[in-house]
Amino acid sequence: MTDDVLATTAAKPQLDGVTGEYASKNELKKRTLKRAKKTATEAARAGKAAAQDGPSPVPVKEKSTTDLPVDRDAIFKQGFLAEVYGLRPSADVVTRFPPEPNGFLHIGHAKAIAINFGFAKHHGGKTILRFDDTNPDAKKEEYFDSIQDNIRWLNFRPHAITYTSDNFGKLYGLAEKLIELGRAYVCHCSKDETQKQRGGCDGKEGRRYRCEHAEQDIATNIAKLRDMRDGKYAPKEAFLRMK
C-alpha cells in the first residue's frame, strides 16, 4: 500500500514554476540544474563587465519621496506667483474663480481653483466665485451645484458667490462706452472670415488685416449694438469686436 502511494507520487507530473508546465520529477530536476548553471554564467559575465568599468560605485541609499517634507504653500513662496505678489504686495488680496456653468469641471480646473483660492488664502485674502452665466443656452442648475461641491471637496470656501448676468446692464453700458471711445465695433463676419483676418490657423498663415466693419462710424456701431440688445439679429449674425 505504502509502495503504491510512493510510486504514484513519483510518477505524478509536477508543476514547473518557471514555465507553468507539468513535467516529471526527473525532467524538473534537469531543468532546475540547467537554469542554475545559466544564472551563474550570467552573473560571472556581469561581474567581469563591471570590473572592466572600474570599481563599482558606492551604492546610494535612495530616499523615499514620502520621507520628504511637503510644503503645500511652496508655489506661493517662490517662482512666478511670488513674483506676482511682489509686484504689488497687498494686505487685501482678492481673487476670483470664474467658471462658466455650462458643464462639469474637469481635472484641469483643479489647478485654477488651487491657484485662485490658494493664493488668496496664503496672503490672508478672499476669493469670489463668479459664475460667468451669460450664455442662457448652456447653464443648468446641476452645474452650479456641482462646481460648488468640487470647490468644497478641494477644501476651499468662496468668500462670496456672484453671477455675471446680474451685471448685464453694467456690461452693456461699458460696451457702448468702448464704441464711443472708438475701441470696439459691430462685425458681421463669419467665424472663418474672422480667423483669416487674424492670420489664419495659429495666426501663422498670412498677414493680419481688418474687415470693412472696423471702419464703420460710431453712430452706426451704436445703432447696431442696440439692435443686438433688442434681439434684431439672429445668433452669430453680429458680434462686438475690440479694435
Do the Cβ atoms of 131 and 162 come closer than 8 Å?
Answer: yes
Q: Which is nearer to Zn ion, 164 or 216 (CB)?
A: 216
Of the candidate spans 43-51, 89-97, 207-215, 225-233, the one that interacts with Zn ion by CB under 5 A turns out to be 207-215
What secondary structure letter does DSSP report for 78? Answer: S
Of the candidate spans 51-59, 78-86, 183-191, 222-230, the one that interacts with Zn ion by CB under 5 A turns out to be 183-191
Task: Report d(CA 231, CA 5) in Å as an integer.
Answer: 96
Looking at beta carbons, which residue is closest to Zn ion? Answer: 211
Phi, psi for residue 101 in degrees, rounded to 5: -80, 55
Q: Which residues pair with 94 in a beta bridge?
A: 126
Question: Grid coordinates 495666426 are at which residue?
Answer: 203
Task: Report d(CA 161, CA 222) in Å as an integer.
Answer: 32
Q: Does 240 bind Zn ion (CB under 5 A)?
A: no
Q: Which is nearer to Zn ion, 60 or 219 (CB)?
A: 219
Kindly write out the interface string for residues 138-177 of this chain, putting x where it contacts Zn ion by CB under 5 A and - elsewhere.
Answer: ----------------------------------------
Q: Where are the beta strands (DSSP E) in the chain?
A: 14-15, 22-23, 94-97, 126-131, 160-163, 184-187, 239-242
Of the candidate spans 92-100, 130-138, 156-164, 181-189, the one that interacts with Zn ion by CB under 5 A turns out to be 181-189
Q: Does 189 bind Zn ion (CB under 5 A)?
A: yes
What residue ranges bind Zn ion (CB under 5 A)?
A: 187, 189, 211, 213
